[in-house]
């Protein structure tokens, strides 16, 4: 085959560094964006944060003048609570009163002047709030060991109690049976006897059981139980003997807990010989118990979501605005930018010139991100006005292609914008992806979103007769009467996504 050179012309799309940076900033969440901005401020001397009260000096250094003016206008709408300082009667009396010339040696300040509460938001309160927010969460083992330190025990029993506490799971149940705990401690006893050469009494299983019963009296009630039945019985045994229906509750938990879990109330009443009215009270007493006692100690850390956009109704129109906290204002340092104008070829000037160009790219990428986020959020609000007005039942079907066609962007761009971005609405705070859902057909040939169908199923279940819960077939028939064609399997799928149990598990005595 003969080799030859050929010259061809063609076009191809190249990802420039500026475009790559804009796409990367577009898909970042609020927290990730703040970290990226902080990193840019630390690495690029040309960038600086616009402090409150400062105005951008250069037209090119402004992130987005229209957005800044709109956000500033929204901030000015906040009610000004500042008022001329007024002296209260207590302050006037403080100015008029004077310390007595002579006071007893053992006198206290509160004996002379009445104690008053400190001003709200004082530095001490802020420090206390900071410590409470950043303090390490107490674990269940820490809570149990703290009670163990306050309980008089022998050293032998304390070692057993520590082994039992170590075997308690975060939910409050024992991860290991008592026999395994006994075997492990027995091996330690033998090793201790061999190491010290002293005679150590062998550890009996009854000793471990005795210490276990003492640990089961710790807070929270029901801790260190083997299973749910024992956990509930421990809590019932710690109640006052005069508690109404206590004996019947112990009988149901100890003998017929499986029937209660299966909601087989007819069989339960027949075997326990408890009447229906009494069984209702017994079930209420059992439901007041905690099936996972450790959960109240090891509560998960609360995570707060900062919305990226706010949606509100002004003069009869829905208005979308960027959150000022997630749209930081940056600018180029005018003093450093002036040094670049020397136009020499020194290494310092080249360093400043490169960082100036990077700063302009970064500001442009931030501006593009804010504009795109505002466009997409506005388009979503235009499609989902019914949801904002009436709730989930008025949600319309929406896919990424619909918003992409509205704003003139690609679906991949819409996917990046809506990922980990949140919108604050009168109905609550939702991720932008929440407003996209599939659809089911209606009798009239239209479409209904899956979110609306889920809301209807939740409403039907909430209004059902607890004695005769609605089956999936019945729910499908009721939805068909409202013009929504959905199969039983689809109803079951939506019901499971809502964490609603089947009809046989929703049965109640009424």
Residue ranges of domains in the chain: 140-296, 309-435, 439-505
Average pLDDT of every residue of the chain: 80
User: What are the residues whose beta carbons fall under 8 Å from the beta carbon of 355, sequence distance 6 or more?
Assistant: 44, 45, 46
How confident is the model at residue 90, as a pLDDT? Answer: 44
Closest CA to 307 of 428, 217, 206, 224: 428
DSSP 239: S
pLDDT band per the 50, 70, 90 thresholds, residue 53: low
Residue 302 has pLDDT above 80, yes or no: no
Q: Specify the DSSP class assigned to residue 105.
A: T
* Buried/exposed code over 395-429 (b: 16+ C-beta within 10 A; e: otherwise): bbbbebebbbebeebeeebbebbbebbbbbbeeee
Bridge partners (DSSP) of residue 174 are: 168
What is the rounded CA–CA span in Å between residue 157 and residue 369? 64
Distances (CA, A) of 469 to 259, 346, 510: 18, 82, 11
Angstrom distance (rounded) from CA 390 to CA 395: 9
Higher pLDDT, 34 or 285: 285
Q: What CA–CA distance (Å, rounded) separates 107 from 493?
A: 74
Is the pLDDT assigned to residue 487 strictly greater than 60? yes
- Residue 157: band (very low, low, confident or very high) from pLDDT cuts 50, 70, 90: very high
**Is residue 121 pLDDT above 80, yes or no?**
no
Average pLDDT over residues 393-419: 89
Give CA–CA dist 383/402, Å, rounded.
9
pLDDT at 88 over 50: no
Q: Edge to edge, what strands does the sheet with 428-431 contain? A: 317-322, 309-314, 422-425, 428-431
Q: What does the pLDDT read at residue 1?
A: 63
Q: Tell the residue number behind the tokens 């019932």, with chain if given.
A: 236
The answer to whether residue 222 scores a pLDDT higher than 90 is: yes
Report CA dihedral (434, 435, 440, 445) to the nearest 10 degrees. 180
For the cut 50, the answer to whether the pLDDT of residue 89 exceeds it is no
Higher pLDDT, 203 or 198: 203
- In whole angstroms, give the CA distance from residue 351 to residue 333: 15
User: Among 1.10.10.60, 3.40.50.720, 3.30.530.20, 1.10.540.10, what is the CATH number of 439-505?
Assistant: 1.10.10.60
Provide DSSP, 387-454. HHHH-GGGPPPB-HHHHHHHHT--HHHHHHHHTT-EEEETTEEEEGGGG-B-EEEBTTS-EEEHHHHH
Confidence of residue 75 (pLDDT cuts 50, 70, 90): very low
Is the pTM higher than 0.75? The answer reads: no
Across 296-308, average pLDDT: 75
The Cα 463–Cα 461 span in angstroms is: 5
Distance between CA atoms of 380 and 399, rounded to whole angstroms?
10
Average pLDDT over residues 373-381: 92
Percent of the chain beyond pLDDT 70? 77
Least trusted range by pLDDT, from 34-38, 63-67, 372-376: 63-67
What is the torsional sign of CA 140, 141, 143, 144?
positive
137 and 301 in contact (C-beta within 8 Å)? yes
When pLDDT is averaged across residues 277-284 and rounded to a whole number, the result is 92
What is the mean pLDDT of the segment spanning 299-315?
A: 81
């Amino acid at each position: 085959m003969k080799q030859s050179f050929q010259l061809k012309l063609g076009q191809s799309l190249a990802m420039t560094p500026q475009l790559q940076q804009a796409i990367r900033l577009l898909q970042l969440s609020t927290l990730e964006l703040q970290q990226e901005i902080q990193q840019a401020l630390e690495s690029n001397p040309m960038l600086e944060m616009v402090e409150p009260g400062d105005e951008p000096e250069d037209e090119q250094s402004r992130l987005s003048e229209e957005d800044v003016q709109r956000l500033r206008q929204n901030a000015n709408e906040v009610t000004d609570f500042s008022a001329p300082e007024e002296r209260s009667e207590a302050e006037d009396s403080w100015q008029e009163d004077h310390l007595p010339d002579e006071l007893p040696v053992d006198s206290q300040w509160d004996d002379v002047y009445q104690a008053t509460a400190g001003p709200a938001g004082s530095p001490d309160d802020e420090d206390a709030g900071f410590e409470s927010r950043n303090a390490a969460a107490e674990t269940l083992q820490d809570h149990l060991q703290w009670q163990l330190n306050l309980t008089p025990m022998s050293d032998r029993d304390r070692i057993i109690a520590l082994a039992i506490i170590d075997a308690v799971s975060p939910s409050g149940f024992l991860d290991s049976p008592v026999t395994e705990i006994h075997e492990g401690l027995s091996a330690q006893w033998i090793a201790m006897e061999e190491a010290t050469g002293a005679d150590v009494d062998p550890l009996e299983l009854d000793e471990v059981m005795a210490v276990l019963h003492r640990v089961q009296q710790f807070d929270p009630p029901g801790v260190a139980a083997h299973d749910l039945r024992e956990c509930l019985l421990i809590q019932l045994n710690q109640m006052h003997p005069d508690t109404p229906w206590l004996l019947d509750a112990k009988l149901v938990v100890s003998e017929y807990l499986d029937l209660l879990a299966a909601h087989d109330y007819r069989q339960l009443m027949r075997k326990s010989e408890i009447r229906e009215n009494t069984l209702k009270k017994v079930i209420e007493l059992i439901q007041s118990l905690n099936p996972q006692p450790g959960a109240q100690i090891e509560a998960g850390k609360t995570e707060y979501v900062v919305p990226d956009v706010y949606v509100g109704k002004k003069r009869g129109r829905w208005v979308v605005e960027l959150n000022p906290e997630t749209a930081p204002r940056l600018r180029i340092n005018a003093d450093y930018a002036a040094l670049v104008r020397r136009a020499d070829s020194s290494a310092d000037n080249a360093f400043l010139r490169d960082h100036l160009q990077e700063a302009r790219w970064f500001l442009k990428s931030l501006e593009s991100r804010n504009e795109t986020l505002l466009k997409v959020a506005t388009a979503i609000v235009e499609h989902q006005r019914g949801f904002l007005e009436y709730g989930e039942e008025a949600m319309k079907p929406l896919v990424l292609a619909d918003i992409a066609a509205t704003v003139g962007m690609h679906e991949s761009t819409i996917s990046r914008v809506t990922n980990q971005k949140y919108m604050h609405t009168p109905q609550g705070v939702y991720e932008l992806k929440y407003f996209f859902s599939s659809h089911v057909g209606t009798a009239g040939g239209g479409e209904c979103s899956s979110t609306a169908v889920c809301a209807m199923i939740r409403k039907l279940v909430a209004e059902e007769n607890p004695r005769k819960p609605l089956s999936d077939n019945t729910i499908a028939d009721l939805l068909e009467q409202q013009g929504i064609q959905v199969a039983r399997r689809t109803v079951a799928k939506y019901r499971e996504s809502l964490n609603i149990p089947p009809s046989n598990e929703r049965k109640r005595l009424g």
